[in-house]
Amino acid sequence: MLNRLLCVLVAVVVFLPCMGIGSLGVELSVSAESAIVMIAETQQVVYEKNAYEKRGIASTTKIMSSIIAIESGKLHYTTTVKAEDVSVEGTSSGLKAGDRVSLLSLVKGMLLSSGNDAANVTATMLAGDKQGFAELMNNKARVIGMKSTNFVNPSGLTEDSHYSTAYDMALLGSYAVKNSVFTSICSMQKCEISYGERGTATLCNHNKFLNMLDGAIGIKTGFTKASGRCLVTAVRRDGVTLVCVTLNAPDDWSDHKKLLENSFDKIQLLKVDLSLPLLIVVGSNKDIISTTIPREIIVPYVGEKPDVDVVIFAPHFLYSGVNKGDVVGSLRLYVNGVEFASDALLSNESAVVHNEPENKGFIEEFKEILRKGLS
């Protein structure tokens, strides 16, 4: 069994530079009033233009509404649609009062058809009303780190106090694309949803960006007269995900294609060599095992090499035997203070316990580790 857990901070990490995805690009001109490209895995900004100015975000709001729905754990719950939730202006997923619909169908309605009706029904289902749901949205925004955002409704219809920034929306997009359910839905070209007794309907994705670049995985379009054209997209290539946000962009499709291609050209890759100085004692016979991680970790970055820290959670002593490849601990890797990866810590060899463990204190056991490790 595992004895006391130790938390070890590895201060020295060896970087082995890999070939970059491309060379540095030239400065770009885009139509957007605000724009940003962010590396989703590290939240590093690759490009920005007025990214911290507060603006309307239109239906890109539904990214947050969808994430809350997905994380609720109630995707297969159903609800009866109320008339007041579907009597709404703007885009619709075709819901009518009395329909019986699942939360999963509502998420599809929000992400594919940008249904304001689906957003309202989601809010009522999960929080009782739009005001209560907006509180959930704002609470989640604080957790994600969106400090310049305020949500008032679940759909993105224009209200003066409903706003965000390109930077905050990139944080939201980076968070959302780590959820496999979210990415699978926003990447769909079309899908069927059930209205209950009224039958089914086919919804088509409004986001034509899915067909514009290799590796595109959505995310969400938006438009109101007040906000202009808003768009959040993501592209994943060779394990690197870039999130692009434009707000009030008359030529948003071209902006995103240009920004993402240029940003991938700037990405460099670092292979993090985790030579772990961790030895674990097994049994009273004091066999020592070394450890490793099961995969290679590659960190994308632009500009200067990032700061990397590794926190290891592992026992200093195992009372029972261990086989090669057994999980004996875990680690977390942080890039510039943001958690980038976590993984198991595996034993590099087997060790069999022949005798009962001696009843020694922590200090004596630690001295044994040092003596064995230095011998």
- pLDDT tens profile 149-196: 999 999 999 999 999 999 999 999 999 999 999 999 999 999 999 999
Q: How far apart are CA 41 and CA 340, in angstroms?
A: 6
- Domains of the chain and any CATH numbers: 5-17+272-374 (2.60.410), 34-266 (3.40.710.10)
Q: What pLDDT tens digit does each residue of the chain (375 aa) get?
A: 333 344 444 434 545 454 444 333 346 899 999 999 999 999 999 999 999 999 999 999 999 999 999 999 999 999 999 999 999 889 999 999 999 999 999 999 999 999 999 999 999 999 999 999 999 999 999 999 999 999 999 999 999 999 999 999 999 999 999 999 999 999 999 999 999 999 999 999 989 999 999 999 989 999 999 999 999 999 999 889 999 999 999 999 999 999 999 999 999 999 887 656 566 777 665 667 778 787 788 899 999 999 998 888 888 788 778 888 889 888 899 998 888 989 888 888 888 765 554 555 555 665 565 555 555
- How far apart CA 34 and CA 261 sit, in angstroms, is 18
Pull the structure tokens for residue 269.
């890759």
Identify the pLDDT of residue 228: 98
Nearest to 236 by CA among 295, 306, 170, 177: 177
Residue 66, amino acid: S
Half-sphere exposure of 205 (CA within 13 A, CB side): 21
Please state, in angstroms and as integers, the Cα–Cα distance from residue 30 to each residue in 49, 248, 302, following that order.
Answer: 9, 11, 20
Contact (Cβ atoms closer than 8 angstroms) between residue 192 and residue 214? no
Q: What is the pLDDT of residue 322?
A: 84
Q: What is the pLDDT of residue 25?
A: 39
Mapped onto helix, strand or coil, the DSSP state of residue 277 is coil
Helix (H/G/I), strand (E/B), else coil: 62: helix
CA 307 – CA 337 distance, rounded (Å) = 8
Contact 90, 56 (CB under 8 A): no
Structure tokens at 248: 């009030």
**Confidence (pLDDT) at 27:** 66
Residues with a known catalytic role: 59, 62, 114
Burial (Cβ within 10 Å: 0-12, 13-18, ≥19) of residue 201:
middle
pLDDT given at position 273? 75
Q: What is the pLDDT of residue 316?
A: 79
Q: What is the largest CA-CA distance in the chain?
A: 77
Closest C-alpha among 88, 21, 26, 32 to residue 228: 32
Tell me which residue of 20, 12, 42, 25 sits closest to 260, measured CA to CA: 25
Q: Residues 6 or more apart from 287 whose CB is under 8 A from it? A: 281, 351, 352
